[in-house]
Structure 1
């Protein structure tokens, strides 16, 4: 490549950028000739310096969270199993504020409000022109019975939000019933993002201090297979919507 050693080191450690016109020669040196792969990586190189909308929230959005938002914005589809909380892409503003405040125990009220704004802004991928994100979310029924003692309307409005979002053509929603037989989701929730072209799928596992990523092809396949089994165990979409509507009606009593 005619480079000095430190340049390649900076690129490999994500401390430096590679120019788009350098991608093909470098891939040739690596023995990669697939034109689809070359084009995809050249596209990534062109986009590397672009600023995402979430950069304006850099004061409250951690680098790991920023990485996830970037993945989500580039994804073609997302499959998620949520056993503890409504997925962020489906939350109302009030539900987002309540759950963020409960989990982000070291955050100030202003930071909680900013993080809630970020969560709502992320939802634009569901209605982006031309290529809306395909979302398949499976939510455990226990999550739907959660109550907010001081703000009882929060869950009622959240249930209505689920019903409204399920009307989008690219959103599939299922509920894992309380009476379900054992399934792989018992090991915990996860999000599986898939991308166009040759880019590999990525699994995200969340916890109180951030997120970890699973990227190896074989490891990701474990989660993809698990999701299929979770789908087969959960309620069909029609039954799911009927259950949510029943709970929403009951919440009004």
Structure 2
């Protein structure tokens, strides 16, 4: 059975389906080799399906569920996830300007219940002003030389991402930033001042916990780079780690990886100032900008 799959970025429902298909296969005590022999699906296709790299065809999912002897009601639920997995959300209009991995990140972030974000050099994207975001996107573009339309689209997406704070159940955000993010002038002094004032305002939001790691803290566990940990309300959706850098971006989802980054985040937060002290430092930096 040849599997033809799309190349769109995975949605949270596709990831949920992939994880459940993998779990069901293991629960049925079937190896990848056994499944491919029974279904005619090649090993590479099954590998990609179980890791949400490809969206499977409906008939493929039905074949797998029947092989795993899944009850009819459960099959209906999983096929519903498959149907919903093509719904990429509000950012679909911006897809031509967004890398595939970033599309996936936006989709996951939009549905996350809580997010922990450590940033070593930038203000977290969910707390950026449009002017600061544009300066970051254009000036720190890693040599990609975005045209005006692409830059506008990236800024729009970054601003719309912040709708997670105005939904019926707002996202819980715990952000920790290195002091370097406050001191580096991005765009202009005026842009930076407005950004820091926006950051100080965010400190008062009940669903936002913001901390700063001061220079005087010295070396700390966050120095290797920034990362995000996402938690989801649905128990079927395991926590997810996102790491972004010059070498590329990646999603990590094994229990070991998530636990390692969670420990690292806790250590960084311990090295940081308290939220009250952090707000004071941000306000002082805004006045000095």
TM-score w.r.t. structure 1 length? 0.85
Alignment of 1:1-253 (within 5 A): 5-6=40-41, 9=46, 11-12=49-50, 14-18=54-58, 22=62, 26=65, 29=68, 44-104=81-141, 105-106=143-144, 107-129=146-168, 131-148=169-186, 151-196=188-233, 197-208=235-246, 210-251=248-289
Change (3 A) 1:51 1:187: closer
Change (3 A) 1:4 1:211: same
CA RMSD of aligned residues (A): 3.0
Decide whether the 8 Å contact of 2:115 with 2:171 is kept in 1: yes
**Matches of 2:193 and 2:226, distance apart in 1:** 23
**Matches of 1:49 and 1:245, distance apart in 2:** 44
Out of 228-237 and 41-50, give the one that drifted further. Answer: 41-50
Runs (5+) with no aligned partner, structure 2 = 1-34
TM-score w.r.t. structure 2 length? 0.75
- What does the per-residue CA deviation read over 1:123-159, in whole Å, with 9 as the maximum and x for residues that have no partner? 1112211x211110001111101114x6321100000
User: How many residue pairs are counted as aligned between the two chains?
Assistant: 243
Runs (5+) with no aligned partner, structure 1 = none
**Matches of 1:242 and 1:126, distance apart in 2:** 23
**Matches of 1:153 and 1:62, distance apart in 2:** 30
**Matches of 2:77 and 2:174, distance apart in 1:** 25
Task: Give the drift of 1:250.
Answer: 2.3
